[in-house]
Structure 1
Amino acid sequence: MTNLHHPCLSGLARNPAAPEDVLVRIAAHRAGRHGMARRRERLPDAVVEALLVHDDGDVMAGLRAERISPAMRRRIATHPDPAIRDARADFIHHLVERGSTAVLGDLEEVYGQPRTSLVAAPDPKLRAAVAGSWYDRPAEVQTALLTDPDPAVRAAATQHRQPGVPAEWRDRCLADPAVRANVAWYVPLTWHQFTELMRTGDEDIQRAVAGNPHLSADMVARLLDLDDPLVRVAVAQSRHVDAATRDRLYALVEAQRADGDIDAEVAMTWNFTEPDWMREAPLDERLSYLDCRHAIFRRVLAGSRDLPEESWHRLDNDPDVAVRRTAARRPNAPPDVLERLVRAHGEVFHHRPLLVEHPNFPRHTLRTFVDEPTPNVRYIALQDPELPVPALQELGAAQEPFLRRGVARHPNITDALLDRLLSDPDPNVADDAAANPALRPARMNRILTEADL
């Protein structure tokens, strides 16, 4: 993370262009070591040696095997200080002990055994960790996990839809309190299994059942009387309810939300379920939702690739921006549609690829976004790797730190602008500036000298 007191050091430590001698020097400073932990590149042996001299185990805890040479792995394994020698193993053991997610390769590395052995380890917490991270495990391994004596292991084995639960194991799993709610989300249910689950009266189980994509029309009808807002939204998204029923259910949840019901707020705002069945529905059935009052149905429809042109025109002008964004991701989205959408609403940077990366986006217009009044839309100009220096200078003087950060990371930045941003009052800006590969070695050395390194 960015070191708030020495951001230039933490940024420089993760600069991919930093030469070996710079990294060796910076390893002597705690801020530099924190930045070093975020490097993606393989560390030279000399840098690892420097870390062994100065690190208290923090960097070693996150140092995955592929980032260091075999010689350095042996060096760490025989280090006299247990804080160094055992840092990585202790970190992984801590994740296992807490039941946190761990990378399967890390488990194999630390425990020194292949996954096929770890899945039968004496420690149930380790078996659960393997079950939670080995997503493509074979059927025979899954069967063994489903019969594990420890409930936490069985729960971890059924948390995801894949590799799933064999048909002959469904009754047993649906009767198992440790995994019942997990399995009720996704396995096809018989009427008897459905009624037995509903008879529990358990809120979590009822919500899981309501979200099951395999429910029959009779099962969905049985759920209509439940007043749980999360159940109501799940039922409203079913293909087995008509438009009037769907509208009624959404209206009831909206009323619950207006009364301050937290679950209703979650159901309407933070619930990420979708009517996935629409994706496989015939075209005529999907098109019947083009005028649906509820945006989630139009959004799923917009994820299609075989709609007639008139439908695309309607979706490109939908009142819901999320619907428009989804429609704009189709391969033949018109350039003007893409530009208009991004110019009006900016980008969603956690959703890749970006709309400006669409093959049809008119990238020659990117630099004109500098003149937009909205800061998050102006930020889009930085997606042009050859953005002219005057534009970078303008954005680098913006009041908003996120704009200055974008400039600090830009490949076309000048020495003068980079130097200015290294002294930015926002530590994150200075950190990004120090991490820019355009930073010259002479300036890197100045940063080290100023820190007495």
Structure 2
Amino acid sequence: MSESDADLGAWAALSDGYGPAPCQRVARAWLRGLGANRGAPADVLVALFDTGNPLFLSFLYRADLPSGVLDAAVVHPAKAVRGTVAESGRLSPEQWSRMLASTTEPKIRDALAELAMEQAAHRDSGARVGVERAPDSDSRPPAGPAEIAAMAATVPDVATGHVSYAVWWIAALHGDADAMRQLAASPNRWIRRSVARARHLPPDVMELLAHDEDRIVRLFLTESCEDAPADVLLDVWSWWEGSFSFPGRPRNHPNFPRHDLLRFALDPEPRLRLLALADPASDAALVERFSRDPDAHVRSGAAGDPRLSPESAARLTADADQAVRGCARRNPALPPAALIRLLLDEHSAEDAAQNPAIPPVAMHRMIDLAAARL
């Protein structure tokens, strides 16, 4: 029997119920991992609802859920499912209406209705990530250069390493080009950082802040400003690993370079070197080379690349670096036999359960086996 036939047989055994029953730790790891599996279809994710355990429902916060998952959650009979999806902040008004209509318990329905109103009020408030709230609803920003200068004089400076929110009244003036010019010239870091939180800036202000000596100013530009130039985005990428507040930035910024990245393949800075894999002209040979790079960041990029050879993917599951091992375990290039072994090991099961190469029928069987062990 060929290795391919053996792999198919292993999946079939698991799918048909003849595979080994997982221990409780592996069972829990499967349920957590499958919820984060970007290859899991809607019916697999909906099947996770039946665990009724909030520990295995956090995937409802995902922004990339397949169509139909939220619709199924809002009418599910389990309180844990409805409660989790309600708190996710991802429901449309129509989905809220359906959930409230299907909730028969008066106290729970009232609590859900209150939460729906709170979330709607927050959306309508215009609150922005990275910007402090105004003291009250009557607060107004200064008008004219003299008032702006007077207010700016009351803003304390901040230390270089202190990451702060944008001052509310400066954020309120983001649409005023002249105010931005006046404030961007301030020697006060907090004021310049607050200007950098603007969604758009005049070209001359952008040019000034793009060369600011304070790198947090430049960081804020890449996170908030749609006009941030490519050279600033590349510079920040070289030293900033990202945040939960601005997921994906600066890499997912519309101005981040998408071509001519192979020039970084030999760059001494690992994070810049890693960019070469994203160039459309990169190939599997580069992925293989990077799989043996001395830097863990670069190896991680190769470990998660689907162009990686199955042999190298299997090798990297035993890498000395935890992040590299995790990326390799989630790589669909991983040989099925190796993936199945990782699924049965409590130390690797959660990462392996996120591998999109797992057949949906096997995913369903994993849920059944795991649920029986809870």
TM-score relative to the length of structure 2: 0.58
Q: Say whether residues 1:162 and 2:124 are aligned partners.
A: yes
Aligned-residue RMSD, C-alpha: 5.3
| 1:408/1:429 contact within 8 Å kept | yes
Q: What pairs up with 1:52-63 in 2 under 5 angstroms? A: 62=57
Instruction: Give the conservation status (yes or no) of the 8 Å contact 1:421–1:433.
Output: yes
1:215 aligned to 2:136?
A: no
Structure 1 residue 418, shift from structure 2 partner: 0.7
Give, in whole Å, the separation in 1 of the partners of 2:275 and 2:183: 33
CA distance 1:133–1:288, change in 2 (3 Å): same
- Are positions 1:91 and 2:91 aligned together? no
Number of positions where the alignment pairs a residue of Structure 1 with one of Structure 2: 310
Residue type of the alignment partner of 1:122: P
> Which has the larger displacement, 240-249 or 55-64?
55-64
Question: Residues 2-38 of structure 1: CA distance to partner in whole angstroms, max 9, x if unpaired?
Answer: xxxxxxxxxxxxxxxxx97487367943243442232
Aligned residue identity for 2:156? Y
Distance 1:126 1:211, change over 3 A: same
Change (3 A) 1:244 1:361: same
Partner of 2:178: 284
1:122 alignment partner, one of 76, 84, 106: 106
TM-score where L is the length of structure 1: 0.50
Q: How does 1:261-410 map to 2 (within 5 A)?
A: 269-271=163-165, 273-274=167-168, 275-281=170-176, 283-302=177-196, 303=198, 305=200, 307-308=202-203, 310-325=204-219, 327=221, 335=230, 337-338=231-232, 341-342=235-236, 345=239, 348=242, 351=246, 354-357=249-252, 361-384=256-279, 387-389=282-284, 391-393=286-288, 395-398=290-293, 401-410=296-305
Change (3 A) 1:20 1:280: farther
- Provide the rounded CA distance (Å) in 2 between the counterparts of 1:93 and 1:59: 10
The verdict on how the C-alpha distance between 1:69 and 1:426 changes in structure 2, with shifts beyond 3 A counting, is same
Change (3 A) 1:433 1:240: farther
**Matched-pair identity in %:** 22
For residue 279 of structure 1, give the secondary structure of its aligned residue in structure 2.
Answer: coil
Q: Does 1:39 align with 2:37?
A: yes
Q: Write the mapping of 1:238-249 to structure 2, written as runs, cut at 5 A.
A: 242-243=148-149, 246-249=152-155
Q: Which structure features the higher share of helix residues?
A: 1
SS in 1 for 2:174: helix
- Is 1:131 paired with 2:114? yes
Amino acid at match of 2:110: R
Distance 1:352 1:101, change over 3 A: closer
Deviations 1:162-216 (A, max 9, x none): 379xxxxxxxxxxxxxxxxxxxx9xxxxxxxxxxxxxxxxxxxxx97x6236425
CA distance in 2, matches of 1:112, 1:291: 50
Query: Are the counterparts in 2 of residues 216 and 240 from structure 1 also a CA contact under 8 Å?
Result: no
Measure how far apart 1:332 and its partner are: 6.5
CA distance in 2, matches of 1:105, 1:162: 15
Greater Rg over alpha carbons, structure = 1
Residues 298 and 438 of structure 1, relative CA distance in 2, 3 Å threshold? same
The separation in 2 between residues aligned to 1:412 and 1:312, in whole angstroms, is: 39
Question: Aligned to 1:280, what secondary structure does the other structure show?
Answer: coil
8 Å Cα contact 1:385/1:410 also seen in 2: no
Q: Is the 8 A contact 2:32 2:56 kept in 1?
A: no
Say if 1:401 and 1:435 are closer, same or farther in 2 by CA, change over 3 A. same
